[in-house]
Chain A
């Protein structure tokens, strides 16, 4: 496979970007651009909608039609865009707090409708933009600025949530495996219906510092340790350990975990 030059898809005039040194979100963004390029999507027909948070700021640097929406509501804007102009390819970038806390209701209903969107949920287990508060994905026991003695709440499993809500394509991948990410994104973008991809990312500035997981490179290795036991993430469900916390972690599954064909909501079929 030839290397894709992603620079034509970047708004270099808008840089330097706002993300921290060591943040893996850029790896995810790059993999997404490679997938868009390889899928042959016309950049003029590509729309990326985002919520609020670090991952959501990424869309400003993508040279497509980009809409930086309100906190958690990106799927609603994306719904309006896709229904109004079905020929567009519409994706959503969201974070774990954005998509699963404040925006959880919008996410599940977009999945239920099986509207033709691709949602990329960056999971770094923390609210980075606001300074490192606990997120719905933070593992029990992990330290955040609002859980100084360790998180006492259980973490959300977004994959199970999305399967339950009716998403017709559900995957989980890791920023530590960019080539796998590219493949999963390409599959998600060409899937007809609601495609959901959770990407395990990092936050060295807050989550790494609070939990002594090191800086960017160390956290990438940390991510690798979590999925290195998965020989082929596309192949099957595998259980990997997550944070070394006092109690047994819930376990994470990687790869394309659910896929089905079912009617896509278009808002035009008389009901």
Chain B
């Protein structure tokens, strides 16, 4: 292990990306994510990498996808308004199956909103922002160290599943400095390589795991890539059978890995009467509130999704099965809470602490809400 050092959340993201093998960054300046680009601009050109500041966020993700097809692990980072612009190419990356990582450091919206204030308002944008039926993998770190860890994981999942993976955290985490000890080495993954010669290669023919092998442009495999619905040859098709097969495979490859992709952390949930569900920076406040409540003898637990999409619905249902109340805390006007309600399907009452004014939810607010549940020692 390297020695402990004080770093910022956004710096941890850049360090994680580099550790995971990222050698291409394209981005557009936007608060509160710009430190990621600034680190990459300093680091990549002198370390066998490429940095380019593009003309907007649409082009940033376009360049990232291009680099990915050229065989290089690539990423971009942004915040709300830029994330809106990226939706076009998030869909393209899903359809063309381009491994890439997109970081959204959430700020208060909608529109320009409050650029330097935190929010968790992009939960649904990360899931449904791009049009059409599509799968999504979105990871939600809760600390500076975890931003490093989950950025590495995002690259690995992107490579293994050939799709965009989103890392979603908020302005507070992005700008928080914490003392962390980062690993010297991390486990990295690489997209599956073709096992057949070019003449036999079908670019979109997947194995049992649903993931087609991906050679790089220039490796001797001459193939076509398109955002149009296509067949196993990677060529556009208007056949309904082929279209259905493609869309279902794009979903199935994620579903097949679902239990591995979905991660939650639980604290004191076993005997909890109230289970608090929170992610990211709000989970930090919730953890403090839970510890304080436990110190007072109140049986409260915390369920913290490290993966927000696919939503940990089975985990939420199982872990809250013995509780009398589920309390969701999030910095928006109700995005995760609806997923929790769907997951528990009426078996446990669900309440919510919602805040969307650009200020973080503090432990006291959660403690107050716990008192309101009438839970006693």
Contacts and interface: CB of A to CB of B under 8 A. Distances in A.
Interface string A256-271: 0000000001111111
A68 B225 contact: yes
23 contacts: A11-B224, A44-B219, A59-B224, A65-B69, A65-B217, A67-B69, A68-B226, A68-B227, A68-B236, A69-B62, A79-B52, A80-B24, A80-B64, A83-B50, A83-B67, A84-B50, A85-B217, A87-B218, A88-B218, A105-B56, A106-B62, A267-B52, A270-B45
Contact of B41 (A65, A66, A76, A271): A271
Contacts of B72: 84-85
Contacts of A69: 62, 92, 227
A264 B171 CA distance: 36
A109 B59 contact: yes
B217 A47 contact: yes
Contacts of B69: 65, 67, 77, 80-81
| Among B69, B88, B89, B236, residue most surrounded by chain A Cβ atoms (within 10 Å) | B69
| Among A59, A83, A88, A265, residue most surrounded by chain B Cβ atoms (within 10 Å) | A83
B128 interface: no
A73 interface: yes
A265 B52 CA distance: 9
A73 B262 CA distance: 33
A271 B64 contact: no
Contacts of A268: 45, 49-50
A68 B45 contact: no
Interface string B82-101: 00000011001000100000
A84 B226 contact: no
Contacts of A66: 222-225
A109 B49 CA distance: 21
B235 interface: yes
A81 B67 contact: yes
Contact of B70 (A70, A75, A85): A85
| Among B71, B216, B217, residue most surrounded by chain A Cβ atoms (within 10 Å) | B217
B59 A76 contact: yes
A21 interface: no
Interface in A73-130: 73, 75-85, 87-88, 105-106, 109
B322 interface: no
Interface string B35-71: 0000001000110011110111011101111111111
Nearest to B59: A76
Contacts of A11: 224
Given A14-B235, A60-B235, A80-B67, A67 B56 contact: no
Interface string A22-36: 000000000000000
A210 interface: no
A49 B51 contact: no
Nearest to B198: A44
A267 B37 CA distance: 13
B124 interface: no
Interface in B206-226: 216-226
B344 interface: no
Given A84-B67, A85-B72, A73 B59 contact: yes
